[in-house]
């Protein structure tokens, strides 16, 4: 019951935050030019080194930019450390972040593809987890189609580059990435094998 109450309180708090952070799509488009080098002009990164951010929840995008900015301010001790993104986010105002997030959230994500040989294993792991290992199903937070939940800042993880998703899961597992609320992703990723991560990353690439 305490967990339910905590989640409700967190959800309500995030809802209020999200409502206060509405950005302008038009203003965001004007500010997004520098982002195109890595993420593409509309947020569909041509390189699997960088994430597709087109169609991502604005609330999640805003949190990540704020976390990058915090990492820049604290020399990586807090927030989300990444040399490239810290440099990009360090001079962004709250309004800039809201506008950029609104712009990329409004773009259409390009479809990816799941290799046939991972569909069955990926679907089972994603939807059901593994009770024997205490592994929570990804769908519990990200939904059956990977859409996530914007107000709770659970990202849309469908259709992204497999290489990028694999990298992030490995970073959560090692603790190198630690900006997940209450360590939720680190707890899950700690139970994933290398094979699990590879299967999930490729499965998610074509999930819609």
Closest CA relative to residue 162, chosen from 57, 64, 47: 47
For residue 21, the Cα-to-chain-centroid distance in whole angstroms is: 18
pTM of the model: 0.89
Q: Which helix (H) or strand (E) holds 130?
A: none
Q: Which two tokens stand for residue 45?
A: 């990164």
Q: What is the pLDDT of residues 45-97, one digit of tens each?
A: 999 999 999 999 999 999 999 999 999 999 999 999 999 999 999 999 999 99
Q: What is the pLDDT of residues 96-137, one digit of tens each?
A: 999 999 999 999 999 999 999 999 999 999 999 999 999 999
Residue with tokens 């809201």: 98
Strand partners, 149: 154
Q: What is the dihedral of CA 28, 33, 35, 36, to 10 degrees?
A: 120
DSSP code of 42?
Answer: T
Closest CA relative to residue 201, chosen from 171, 175, 174: 171
């Amino acid at each position: 019951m305490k967990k339910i109450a905590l989640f409700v309180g967190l959800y309500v708090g995030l809802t209020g935050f999200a409502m206060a952070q509405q950005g302008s799509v038009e203003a965001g488009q004007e500010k997004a030019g520098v982002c195109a080098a890595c993420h593409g002009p509309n947020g569909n990164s041509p390189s699997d080194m960088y994430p597709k951010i087109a169609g991502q929840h604005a609330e999640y995008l805003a949190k990540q930019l704020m976390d990058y900015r915090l990492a820049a301010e604290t020399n990586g001790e807090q927030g989300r450390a990444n040399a490239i993104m810290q440099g990009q986010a360090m001079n962004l105002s709250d309004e800039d972040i809201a506008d950029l997030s609104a712009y990329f959230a409004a773009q259409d994500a390009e479809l990816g593809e799941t290799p046939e040989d991972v569909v069955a294993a990926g679907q089972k792991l994603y939807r059901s987890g593994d009770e024997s290992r205490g592994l929570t199903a990804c769908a519990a937070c990200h939904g059956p189609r990977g859409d996530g939940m914007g107000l709770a800042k659970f990202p849309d993880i469908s259709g992204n580059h497999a290489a990028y998703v694999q990298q992030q899961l490995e970073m959560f597992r090692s603790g190198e990435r630690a900006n997940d609320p209450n360590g939720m992703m680190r707890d899950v990723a700690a139970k994933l094998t290398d094979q699990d991560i590879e299967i999930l990353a490729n499965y998610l690439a074509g999930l819609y």
